[in-house]
């Protein structure tokens, strides 16, 4: 839905209560529910603005962001766009993938963008249809460690602050995942399955990069790329 504000909102902005309220309501619609719904600028709103701007910039950390939404700026246009990123919990499972993170109840890196969720679902579906269907005993794509409930600093994962990156556990020949420190020397590593997973991501048009991490039990980080704002669908008002 298009958003119209008369002045800037956020750090150093005019922060007219009606404008602040309009911005907050739209953030809530997009899943950034970090604050009470009122016309006041608070720390929760600033967290949402900085996180949203970092996502739009394609950053993996919440740094170098001005924290202000200008009346005619890029942030307000994207905030009201049909393809604006939603903040959500990551899907639990689906064709070709499982969410390993969801099994770790003492870890809360379960949140990320709708852009990343769509990337995972699309890549896993391709992996399922083109690889696992002919090799049913092969490991699913196992995602792990996205972002914290409100994004931001996470010391264990310096590049996982904005819900645009996740780890994928290395597939094993026994159909399980993880526990492989060095894929070059571990005979349990299913290189063919890993290649098929990587191909699934590379054929997904929103992927910015897939990074192989040879020194860790994770195969790679998947990072979706931002696109320009699209006009809302006419049926959505």
pLDDT, tens digit (0-9, with 9 covering 90-100), for 120-134: 999 999 999 999 999
For the CA atoms of 65, 149, 114, 166, the dihedral, rounded to the nearest 10 degrees, stands at 90
Output the furthest CA–CA distance in the chain (Å, rounded): 62
Which string of b and e fits 128-155 if b means at least 16 CB within 10 Å? beebbeeeeebbbbbbbbbbbeebbebe
Average of per-residue pLDDT across 200-228: 56
**Res. 32: pLDDT tops 60:** yes
CA distance linking residue 83 with residue 124, whole number of Å? 21
More confident residue, 88 or 215: 88
Domain residue spans of the chain: 9-79, 88-224
Query: pLDDT category, 231, cuts 50, 70, 90?
Result: very low
CB 60 within 8 A of CB 47: no
pLDDT, tens digit (0-9, with 9 covering 90-100), for 102-112: 877 777 899 99
Q: Cα dist. 180→136, 172, 187, 216 in Å? A: 21, 8, 9, 8
Mean pLDDT in the chain?
Answer: 87
Query: What was the pLDDT predicted at 91?
Result: 95
Query: What was the pLDDT predicted at 157?
Result: 75
First to last CA, the chain: 7
Would the CA dihedral through 71, 85, 61, 43 be positive or negative? positive
Query: What was the pLDDT predicted at 175?
Result: 97
Query: What was the pLDDT predicted at 174?
Result: 97
Half-sphere exposure of 28 (CA within 13 A, CB side): 10
Query: What was the pLDDT predicted at 81?
Result: 94
Tokens in use for 153? 């600093």
Average of per-residue pLDDT across 67-71: 97
CB 44 within 8 A of CB 23: no
State what percent of residues in the chain have pLDDT above 90: 70
Query: What was the pLDDT predicted at 54?
Result: 95
In this prediction the pTM is 0.87
Look at 117-121, 128-132, 228-232 and tell me which has the smallest mean pLDDT.
228-232
Query: What was the pLDDT predicted at 20?
Result: 98
Q: What are the backbone dihedrals phi and psi of residue 147, each rounded to the nearest 5 degrees, phi first?
A: -130, 165
Burial of 37 (0-12, 13-18, 19+ CB in 10 A): exposed
Average of per-residue pLDDT across 15-30: 98
Q: Which CATH architecture has domain 88-224?
A: 2-Layer Sandwich (3.30)
**Res. 211: pLDDT tops 80:** no
């Amino acid at each position: 839905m298009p958003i119209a504000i008369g002045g800037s909102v956020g750090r150093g902005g005019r922060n007219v209560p009606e404008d602040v309220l309009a911005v907050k309501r739209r953030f809530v619609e997009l899943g950034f529910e970090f604050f009470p719904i009122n016309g006041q600028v608070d720390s929760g709103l600033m967290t949402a603005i900085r996180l949203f701007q970092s996502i739009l910039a394609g950053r993996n950390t919440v740094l170098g962001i001005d924290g202000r939404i200008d009346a005619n700026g890029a942030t307000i246009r994207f905030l009201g766009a049909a393809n604006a990123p939603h903040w959500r919990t990551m899907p639990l499972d689906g064709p070709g993938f499982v969410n390993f993170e969801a099994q770790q109840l003492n870890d809360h890196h379960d949140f990320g963008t709708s852009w990343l969720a769509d990337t995972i679902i699309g890549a896993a579906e391709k992996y399922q249809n083109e690889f696992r269907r002919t090799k049913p005993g092969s490991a699913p794509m196992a995602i792990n460690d996205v972002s914290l409930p409100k994004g931001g600093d996470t010391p264990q994962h310096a590049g996982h602050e904005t819900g645009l990156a996740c780890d994928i556990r290395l597939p094993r020949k026994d159909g399980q995942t993880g526990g492989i420190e060095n894929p070059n020397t571990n005979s349990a590593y299913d290189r063919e399955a890993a290649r098929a997973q990587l191909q699934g991501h590379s054929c997904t048009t929103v992927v910015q990069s897939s990074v192989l991490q040879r020194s860790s039990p994770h195969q790679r980080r998947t990072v979706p790329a931002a696109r320009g704002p699209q006009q809302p669908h006419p049926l959505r008002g």
